[in-house]
Amino acid sequence: MNIFEVIGRTTLRTGVAIWDIMALFFKTLYWLFFAPFRRKFIGRRYIFEQMVFAGIQSILIVFFVTLFIGIVLAMQGAYQLDKLGAVRYVASLISVSICREIGPVLIALVIAGRVGAAITAELGSMKVTEQIEALETMALNPIRFLVVPRFLALIVMLPALTVIGDIIGMFGGYLVGVYNLKISSGLYIKTTFDFLEMKDIMTGLFKSFIFAMIIAMIGCYQGLNTQGGAEGVGRSTTLSVVTSFILIILADCILTGIFYFSSV
């Protein structure tokens, strides 16, 4: 097998996968707008269960990750700003960087590793044990009952977790600024919001919304296309997490470029 065959086969597989993911996305949107509000929508209770799993049960890990990131940013930022005699501006550095960039991306990666992997493993297990085929046999659409609740839960809870993570990250910086750098509490809080604008917060929330769709679609797609028994479930779960990580970073790069050039 020569290199051109490998490139061609990989390109074709990638193209087919992208097409299938987009088809799954539009089918999910269809059931999202028509199914959840029907009186006999069985998946409605699963939406709240998935929200608890994706959101409430992820708060603790988000808390510790963003708190420590805020602390590390404050210490590293103070080290550099001290050379310029501008240690007080470490508060603005932390607030803008966390709300605009670090918070949404880092929390999305955490959720992709925790929730995205769980989605793929659960749906993959259902696929290899033919439970999904059983749903189709009973004329129940798998996308309606399995994908939509997880998709809706993520696009609601990931932005909410991002808001919580931003606050906790800024609090971590506050601890370093006030108790280590000896910046007065009032001055630190004032400097935090001097350079933080609403567009910075909205930029981060919009990114988290896009990241949530990526995590949900990749996790569900890999789960629904799992083959090969238990080994296949593990392979799909690994591929789901890796792909989600790459696409989150890629989407963040594209969105950051769009927001940057639109504001110049």
pLDDT digits (tens, 9 = 90+) for 111-137: 999 999 999 999 999 888 888 888 878
Distance CA 188, CA 118 (A): 40
Q: Which two tokens stand for residue 238?
A: 């690994």
What is the pLDDT confidence band of residue 200, given thresholds at 50, 70 and 90?
confident
Distance CA 256, CA 230 (A): 39
Is-contact 42 143, C-beta < 8 A?
no
Is-contact 123 192, C-beta < 8 A?
no
Most confident residue range from 219-228, 230-239, 241-250: 241-250
Is-contact 182 230, C-beta < 8 A?
no
Query: Following DSSP, what letter does each residue of 153-212 receive, concatenated?
Result: HHHHHHHHHHHHHHHHHHHHHHHHHHHTS---HHHHHHHHHHS--HHHHHHHHHHHHHHH
The amino acid present at 168, given as its one-letter code, is I
The amino acid present at 41, given as its one-letter code, is F
Mean pLDDT on 212-224: 93
Cβ-Cβ contacts under 8 Å for 184 (sequence gap 6 or more): 178
For residue 263, what pLDDT is reported?
57
Mean pLDDT on 215-243: 90
User: In 3D, which of 138, 68, 66 has the Cα closest to residue 103?
Assistant: 66
What is the pLDDT confidence band of residue 262, given thresholds at 50, 70 and 90?
low
Distance CA 100, CA 42 (A): 38
Is-contact 150 219, C-beta < 8 A?
yes
Collapsing DSSP to helix, strand or coil, 153 comes out as helix
Q: Which two tokens stand for residue 185?
A: 């509490």
User: In 3D, which of 99, 100, 77, 114 has the Cα closest to residue 169?
Assistant: 99
User: In 3D, which of 247, 262, 252, 251 has the Cα closest to residue 103?
Assistant: 252
What would the pLDDT profile of 171-197 be if each residue is shown by its tens digit? 999 999 888 888 888 888 888 888 888
Distance CA 23, CA 155 (A): 18
Question: Is the pLDDT assigned to residue 156 strictly greater than 80?
Answer: yes
Question: Whole-model pTM above 0.75?
Answer: yes
